Each structure stands twice: as C-alpha cells, then as structure tokens.
Amino acid sequence: MSHELNVALLVGAAVLLVCVGAVRLSVRLGLPSLLVYLLLGLVIGEAGLGIQFTDAELTRTLGICALVVIIAEGGLTARWSTLRPVLGPAVVLSTLGVVVSVGVVGAVLHYVLGVGWQQALLTGAVLSSTDAAAVFSTLRRVPVRPRLAALLEAESGINDAPVVILVVLLSAPLTGQHPWYQQLGLVAYELVAGAAVGLVTGFGGAWALRRAALPSAGLYPLAAIGLTVLAYAAGSVAHASGFLAVYVTGVILGNARLPHRRAMLGFADGLAWLAQIGLFVLLGLLASPKALGGAVITALVVGLVLVLVARPLSVLVSSAPFLLTESGPGWRDQAFLSWAGLRGAVPVVLATIPLSAGLPGAQDLFNVVFVLVVIYTAAQGMSLPPVARRLGVTAPAEPTDLQVEAAPLERMGADLLQVEVPDGSKLNGVHVDELRLPLGAVVTLVLRDGGAFVPVPETRLKTRDSLLIVTTEQVRDAAEQRLRAVSRRGRLARWFAEHGDDRRQ
C-alpha cells in the first residue's frame, strides 16, 4: 500500500508539473490549456501508459466539485462595476439564449439525423454552456473591449446553472415526468432560490469576515472558498441551483471590502487552476480513443450547427430587447459573441451525468461532446484574435490598475493598506504630501530597492515602490479612491474629474 501510494504521488506530481508548464506553451500558441490537459489524460490512459479508468460516476462527482471551485473563482474575480452594465443582456443570453440553442440543435439532430427527441435535446443542453476561461486564455495577447469581455464572463458564470438543471431533467426517464408547465416552474424556482441562497450566504459571509479579525492572513482565503462551497451545499439541500448560489456568493465576496482581499483572489485563482487540471486530465482518462474515432463525423455536423446556426441565433434573439439601450451589443459585438462561444469543462462534465445514469446512447453522447470540444475549441481558439481585430472589438492596452491589499488592525479600529506602484502609474514622481490623503490616513513606510524608510512630505514616489498606509475605518474607502485617482491621472486628478472609482475587471 505504501509503495502504491508513493507511485501515485509520483505520477500525480509529474502530471501536475507538466500541466503547469503547458500553460506557458498554450499561451504562446493561442490555445486554451484545456486541450493540453485532455491530451495528457489520453496519453496516460488506456491507449498510452495503460492506466484503466472507466468510473463515470466518480468522474461526475469530482467534476461537480471542480466546477464549484471554478465557478467560485469566476465570481470572486468578477468586478461589479463592469458586471452591472451588462447584467441584463447576460441573464437573457444565459436563459433565453440557452433555450434557443437547445431547440435549434435538438431540432436539427431529430429531423436531419433521426435522433430521438430526448437525446437530441439532451445533446443541445449539454453543449449550450460556454466557458469564459477558454475565451480569455486565447485573448491575453489581444484584449477585447471591457464591456464585451464582461458580457462573455457574466454569461459563462450564469448559464451553468440553467444548463445543469436542463441536463438533469432531460437525463431522467420520460415516464413519470411532470407536465411541462410544472417543469418550467421547477426551473424558475431553482434559479430564484439559488440566487437567494447566494445573496444570503454572500452578504452574511462578508459581514462575518469583516468582523472576525482572524489570527492569520491565510485563513481569509480558506473562509471565502468555504463560504462558496457552503452556498452550493445549502442551495442543493434546498433543491435550488447550487451553481448559481456559488456564483452569486463569489461576486458578493469578491466585491466586498474584505481584509487580505488580494490574497483571497490569488488563492482562488490557484485553486481554480488545480481544479481545471485535475478535471481535464480525469476526463481525458475516462475517454476511450478507440471509440472517439466513430464520433468525429457526428461531432463535426453538430459543431457546425452549433457554431453557425444555434449560437448566432441565440445571440441575436437575446440581444433584441437591448438593441436600443446603452448596454445593448452592436452588430460587431454580436458577431464576436457568436464566434467566441467556446465550450470547455462544463459540456464534458455534463455529458457524464447521463453516462452515470445509464441512459441509452449516453456513451455516444459523451464521445461526440468530447470530440466536438477538442476540435472546435482548437479551431475557434486560434481564430479568435484575428476575428477580434477584424471586427474592431479590440481594446488598447491600459496600464495596470492600482492593487491595494488591506489587513485589519482590530484594537486600533484601523486598516493597514499595502499599495504597489505599478508600471505606467502616474504615482511615479508624486510627492507624498501631494497625495492629499484624507485626514486619518498616512503613509508610514516606503519599501524601495530592497530597503525601507519612513517617508517625509517631500519624498518622491517611484515605480515599483511599496507603500504601507495606516487609515481609520471611516476614511479607508476615500483613501483608496484618492490613491487610484492619482495613479490614473496624476496629482491634478480632480481637475480631470477622476475620483478613483474601483472599476477594475
């Protein structure tokens, strides 16, 4: 047993390190890293190193656990200032757009390929969820406009919840099901109740973390992730959408004024990477290369219908109510949204639900979805940067916004802010007294070139300086806003109507 454990740890560590190194390669090639992870799973599987793995039930269970972490990280890193303007279009695209996509794919499969209605609609439901991580990993070198990026991110975070509900309903036997209007009411209840659970958990957790004064900075990230898992579990116990509860809780916690917020986001990011690596390698292990060859033709046909018909139609229908509003996407944005609907972890994980339930044709469905995700993610992923440039939806490079980390000083009723002066910041060259921080906030220490010193009013700040600022709780927000304003527009920020609102993505 000890020898087997050591071998398992050896193989697991080697796979993890290879996957971490593959991220750099995937960024250079402009491909989502999930393709490398799936390929690695196939290599160490039955056709490669010979590892036999056929447990669909375990894959589904671990996949759901991984999705909880991935969705939580998406919510924690979402900025409410950028999410709010696109929330309406994102919700419609994640609900009405999903219905349109499922209907189009299901109708084509039924009438053209002769697939039964249940499996046809189930295939459409499995493939209707998008993956923002796959999109953004290919757009690191060519960023798109913030509003468009926010819409893609919001859609991918929200549409997982209704899609999971549809897949579970369609995976159940047709006999004994309730009438369609009761099913519709059930879906509405799960979404509304899931959002409510997320709101309660998020606001309650943020209130508790602000007042907890935990003895170690490392406990705050653990508590934040624990709250998102609690939201999922509470939502599931209440027969609500646990995934929507996770995303709502993450958004609230990520935008709350919590101690050690940057550490919390960094921990969530690393945990999400680990979840993605484990999930995709496991899915690659579950797939059988011998059976995938027979699914190529069907996957190509379904993919063409999805990319060229279902996705553009769902974007068009979902955008119609917002065309005359400021938040409505223009035709260029709609075209990019249609092409940028990459599939990632969620469709392959959802395909394991009917597989673990023993639904007839479930193995064929899993093979089709697996092949489709690999082929179309590679094809669309490589073409996204030139498509973005062709449509004119790219955004100019912007200097890194100011990052502020906070730690509570409980007995003093104050906070300690750590501020890094990034490249391109107009804090460079500003004297300390020109910061004009509110009364109750003061720069206490400057770290520069490996040394530290107490600044005086005439101290001139430089790029890559680290500032330690003590501020009372009452003026903390005002101090952060002033620092951001000076970082963006310099010492005369107020003359340019720059007040330092937190608009980071």
Q: Which range has highest mean pLDDT (32-36, 139-143, 272-276, 406-410)? A: 272-276
Specify the pTM: 0.77
Instruction: Report, as an integer, the average pLDDT of 420-447.
Output: 89
Least reliable range by pLDDT among 164-178, 280-294, 338-352: 164-178
pLDDT band at 155; cut points 50, 70, 90: confident
pLDDT in tens, 211-224: 877 777 788 889 99
Cα 433 off chain centre by: 40
What distance in Å separates the CA atoms of residue 30 and residue 381, rounded to the nearest whole number? 7
Instruction: Report, as an integer, the average pLDDT of 223-232.
Output: 93
Largest Cα–Cα distance in the chain?
A: 79
| Percent of the chain predicted with pLDDT > 70 | 88
What distance in Å separates the CA atoms of residue 278 and residue 505, rounded to the nearest whole number? 27
- What is the H or E stretch that residue 403 is in? strand 403-409
**Residue in 168, 129, 141, 167 with CA at minimum distance from that of residue 381:** 141
Specify the residue for token string 């998008």.
130
Q: Tokens representing 493?
A: 């920020």
Instruction: Report, as an integer, the average pLDDT of 105-120.
Output: 87
Strand order in the sheet with 451-453: 403-409, 414-420, 466-472, 441-448, 451-453
451 pLDDT exceeds 60?
Answer: yes
Residue 351, C-beta contacts closer than 8 angstroms, at least 6 positions apart: 126, 362, 365, 366, 369, 370
What distance in Å separates the CA atoms of residue 38 and residue 137, rounded to the nearest whole number? 16
Q: What pLDDT sits at residue 144?
A: 80
325 pLDDT exceeds 80?
Answer: no
What distance in Å separates the CA atoms of residue 165 and residue 162, rounded to the nearest whole number? 5
Cα 202 off chain centre by: 17
44 pLDDT exceeds 60?
Answer: yes
Instruction: Report, as an integer, the average pLDDT of 420-425.
Output: 86
Q: For the chain, how big is the Rg over CA atoms in Å?
A: 24
Cα 427 off chain centre by: 31
Q: What pLDDT sits at residue 40?
A: 82
Residue 130 burial by CB count (10 A; 0-12/13-18/19+): exposed, middle or buried?
buried
Cβ neighbours, 10 Å, residue 277: 24
234 pLDDT exceeds 90?
Answer: yes
pLDDT in tens, 277-313: 888 888 888 887 777 888 888 889 888 999 899 999 9
Q: What pLDDT sits at residue 504?
A: 45
Residue 219, C-beta contacts closer than 8 angstroms, at least 6 positions apart: none
Least reliable range by pLDDT among 131-135, 255-259, 296-300, 455-459: 131-135
Average pLDDT, the chain: 82
Instruction: Report, as an integer, the average pLDDT of 17-35.
Output: 72
Count how many Cα atoms sit within 13 Å of the Cα of residue 404 in the half-sphere of its side chain: 25
pLDDT in tens, 353-402: 888 877 888 888 888 888 888 888 878 877 888 888 888 888 765 555 66
Question: What values do phi and psi take at 203, rounded to 5?
Answer: -70, -40
pLDDT in tens, 462-484: 988 999 999 888 888 888 888 88
Least reliable range by pLDDT among 109-123, 132-146, 155-169, 238-252: 132-146
Question: What domains are defined for the chain?
Answer: 19-391 (1.20.1530.20), 403-496 (3.30.70.1450)
Cα 120 off chain centre by: 28
